[in-house]
């Protein structure tokens, strides 16, 4: 059986002495009653307290846990994370900084998924692999001792995280570079920097970090967007007589850009990328045209609707612009 919170905290206390110190229950950041503070302030305070708990033990560890010390996610939150990502039998779940392996083990046991955990701590990795053997899950899950920044993650369909904000920030670029479009990411308590989540939720807990609550665990969810940035030649017979150039700038799942029509720049509106799906509007001379389509490498296409009529459109990315990250 995987450790429950109590057991996880015992391990943490054994591994990192500071867990028995007041850092565990920071007097500087007492938990306020949600009845006495606004929801946003309560959430900020909870997240700050979580950061204090996670970061407080950094220098007491005997190995360099740059993503934070071992503090297990409560099982109720593990369940909520996997439900939030709608994990199923076709998924391959990677937990970065996998601790005692509970997220990957639960994904396999309850959702019939496969998966892998990476952790810097050899004892936690050995414990997780032993638990996988014990539960008869070793053919579907494995745990590897590796720094999360070096971990091979391309095979993931779901990535889970409970790491400090600095590491979340460091992992952002790796995720955009290495994960397939459509990969879901769920993080416990700490979001990325400028990559805003697609969805958020929270879980109320009577107890966390071995101390009575009320506590909230905040969950953040992202879908890795396809890379759409660049200059595209768009053809839409019936809508334009000749292909038009469309310049797209991408900030994660948000698309901006422009084309030219009648000698004027026409800005793009409502541009979004959801996995390999794209949607945007252009206010062209006949009226607003809504484009919906799918991206496949250097090509995309779909349907454009204008004035109640539907047109097929296709686009090819210009090779030079395709190099833009």
Ligand X SMILES: C[S@@+](CC[C@H](N)C(=O)[O-])C[C@H]1O[C@@H](n2cnc3c(N)ncnc32)[C@H](O)[C@@H]1O
Closer of 99 and 191 to ligand X (Cβ): 99
3-class DSSP state of 226: coil
Identify the bridge partners of residue 201 per DSSP, sorted by sequence position: 219
Question: Which of 124, 144, 142, 126 is CA-nearest to residue 62?
Answer: 124
For position 291 contacting ligand X by CB under 6 A, the verdict is: no
**Residue of 3, 24, 53, 67 that binds ligand X (CB under 6 A):** 67
Measured CA to CA, the distance from residue 226 to residue 176 in angstroms comes to 9
* Among 117-125, 232-240, 288-296, 301-309, the segment contacting ligand X (CB under 6 A): 117-125
Among 5, 91, 119, 131, binds ligand X (CB under 6 A): 119
34 binds ligand X (CB under 6 A): no
- Contact between 147 and ligand X by CB under 6 A: the answer reads yes
Nearer to ligand X, 19 or 280 (CB): 19
| Site membership for ligand X, residue 71 (CB under 6 A) | yes
Please identify, using beta-carbon distances, which residue of 50 and 268 lies nearer to ligand X: 50
Token digits of residue 309: 């009529």
Q: How far apart are the two ends of the chain, measured CA to CA in Å?
A: 45
To ligand X, the closest distance from the beta carbon of 120 in angstroms equals 4
Cβ(164)–Cβ(185) below 8 Å? no
* Residue 118 interacts with ligand X (CB under 6 A): yes or no: yes
Are the C-beta atoms of 119 and 128 separated by less than 8 Å? yes
Among 2, 9, 16, 68, interactor with ligand X by CB under 6 A: 68
Smallest gap from Cβ 124 to ligand X, in A, equals 5
- The correct pick among 42, 70, 175, 195 for binding ligand X (CB under 6 A) is 70
SS3 state of residue 252: coil
**Closer by beta carbon to ligand X, 162 or else 313:** 162
Kindly state whether residue 175 participates in binding ligand X, applying the rule CB under 6 A.
no
- Distances in whole angstroms, Cα of residue 322 to Cα of each of 40, 243, 248: 40, 18, 10
d(CA 3, CA 89): 24
Question: 3-state DSSP call for residue 45?
Answer: helix
The Cα angle at residue 9 between residues 5 and 14, in degrees rounded to 5: 150
State yes or no: residue 12 binds ligand X (CB under 6 A): no
3-state secondary structure at position 198: coil
Segment lying near ligand X (by CB under 6 A), choices 19-27, 66-74, 134-142, 290-298: 66-74
| 28-36, 91-99, 265-273, 274-282 -> range binding ligand X (CB under 6 A) | 91-99
Decide: is 148 part of the binding site for ligand X (CB under 6 A). Answer: yes
Q: Out of 46, 82, 84, 98, which residue is the one contacting ligand X (CB under 6 A)?
A: 98
DSSP string, 1-25: ----HHHHHHHHHHH-GGGGSGGGS
Among 5, 87, 93, 97, binds ligand X (CB under 6 A): 97
Q: Which helix (H) or strand (E) holds 108?
A: helix 102-111
Torsion of CA 165, 40, 210, 105, to 10 degrees: -60
If binding is defined by CB under 6 A, does position 184 make contact with ligand X?
A: no
Min dist CB 70 to ligand X, Å, is 4
Residues forming the site for ligand X (CB under 6 A): 54, 65-68, 70-73, 95, 97-99, 102-103, 118-121, 124, 147-148, 162-163, 188
């Amino acid at each position: 059986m995987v450790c429950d919170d109590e057991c996880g905290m015992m391990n943490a206390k054994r591994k990192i002495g500071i867990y028995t110190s007041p850092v565990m229950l920071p007097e500087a950041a007492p938990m306020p009653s949600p009845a006495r503070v606004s929801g946003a302030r309560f959430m900020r305070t909870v997240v700050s307290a979580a950061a204090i708990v996670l970061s407080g033990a950094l220098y007491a560890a005997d190995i360099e846990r740059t993503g934070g010390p071992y503090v297990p996610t409560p099982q109720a939150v593990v369940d909520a994370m996997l439900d939030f990502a709608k994990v199923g039998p076709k998924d391959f779940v990677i937990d970065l900084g996998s601790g005692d392996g509970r997220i990957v083990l639960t994904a396999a046991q309850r959702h019939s998924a496969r998966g892998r955990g990476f952790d810097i701590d050899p004892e936690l990795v050995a414990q997780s692999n032993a638990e996988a053997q014990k539960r008869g899950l070793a053919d579907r899950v494995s745990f590897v001792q590796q720094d999360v920044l070096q971990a091979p993650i391309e095979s993931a369909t779901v990535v889970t995280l409970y790491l400090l904000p600095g590491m979340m920030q460091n992992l952002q670029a790796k995720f955009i570079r290495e994960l397939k479009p459509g990969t879901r990411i769920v993080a416990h308590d700490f979001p990325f920097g400028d990559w805003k989540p697609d969805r958020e939720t929270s879980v109320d807990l009577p107890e966390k970090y071995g101390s009575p609550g009320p506590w909230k665990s905040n969950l953040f969810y992202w879908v890795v967007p396809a890379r759409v940035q660049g200059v595209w030649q768009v053809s839409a017979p019936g809508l334009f007589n000749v292909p038009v150039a469309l310049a797209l700038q991408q900030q994660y799942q948000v698309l901006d850009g422009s084309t030219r029509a009648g000698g004027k720049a026409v800005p793009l509106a409502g541009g979004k990328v959801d996995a390999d799906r794209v949607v945007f509007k252009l206010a062209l001379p006949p009226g607003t045209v809504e484009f919906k389509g799918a991206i496949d490498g250097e090509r995309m296409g779909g349907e454009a609707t204008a004035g109640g009529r539907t047109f097929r459109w296709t686009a090819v990315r210009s090779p030079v612009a395709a190099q833009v990250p």
